[in-house]
Structure 1
Amino acid sequence: MNHAIFVAKVIEKPVHLVYKECQSMEIKVKFPSPRQKNSKNELKILLWGDDKGDFLKYYKTQDYLIIEGTLTSTGYINKENEINEVKFIVKKFYPFLLI
């Protein structure tokens, strides 16, 4: 199972996604600092259900979050090269620093 807990910083405004009757929200986050220069430190998280409203109500860009959930990876090949996209499906999230 790909269960994980991360501390991340919100770097972009949320994007609302609608697929048939399901609605979700996708948010781009960044880890505080990468260990290696060639490592990726950005990730897209997905929020479902009541978590979307809570996020919009209490959080904004540049906030730090503790996120808990499931890590997913999809890979596909386009004309130039192979692209691996990693997303994180959030089960719970908490504020990291209250200022």
Structure 2
Amino acid sequence: MNHAILVVKVISNPVYLTYKEYQVIEIKVEFPVSRQKNSGKELTLLLWSDHQGDFVKYYKVQDYLIIEGTLILKGYKTIENKAKIIVKRIYPFLLT
């Protein structure tokens, strides 16, 4: 199981997707601190059910969030690593 807890910064507006009868929101985020040069900086969040409404209602671009969810890697054998996280819990993160 690939459980992850991360602090991320929202960098784009949500994109609404429909899969069969389910509604999903896809959001691009990035890590707020610089990392190794060859590592990926961006992730995609997938929000289902109640998290969709909460995100649209309370969060916007440039907000920092604490994300808890399951990590999915696509294309790990190719140059383009596509990391996605299915969000289980989402919390606001305040920087002072």
TM-score with structure 2 length normalisation? Answer: 0.91
Task: Give, in whole Å, the separation in 1 of the partners of 2:51 and 2:79.
Answer: 33
Paired position in structure 2 for 1:29: 29
**Preserved contact between residue 34 and residue 40 of structure 1 (Cα < 8 Å):** no
Instruction: List 4+ stretches of structure 1 deviating above 2 A.
Output: 81-84
Deviation of residue 41 (structure 1)?
1.1
Q: In terms of mean alpha carbon deviation, does 64-73 or 81-90 score higher?
A: 81-90
Q: Calculate percent identity across the aligned residue pairs.
A: 65
Tell me the amino acid that sits aligned with residue 42 of structure 1. Answer: E
Mark the CA change 1:58 to 1:98 in structure 2 (over 3 Å): closer, same or farther.
farther
Task: Give, in whole Å, the separation in 1 of the partners of 2:81 and 2:37.
Answer: 18
Judging by fraction of residues, say which structure has more strand. Answer: 1
Count of equivalent residues: 96
Tell me the amino acid that sits aligned with residue 83 of structure 1. Answer: E
Deviation of residue 82 (structure 1)?
4.4
Residue 89 of structure 2 is aligned with which of 74, 78, 92? 92
Deviation of residue 86 (structure 1)?
1.0
Deviation of residue 34 (structure 1)?
2.6
Deviation of residue 93 (structure 1)?
0.4
Tell me the amino acid that sits aligned with residue 89 of structure 1. Answer: I
Q: Which has the greater radius of gyration?
A: 1
1:54 aligns with 2:54: yes
Uncovered stretches (5+) of structure 1, i.e. residues with no partner: none
Tell me the amino acid that sits aligned with residue 6 of structure 1. Answer: L
Task: Give, in whole Å, the separation in 2 of the partners of 1:34 and 1:54.
Answer: 28
Uncovered stretches (5+) of structure 2, i.e. residues with no partner: none
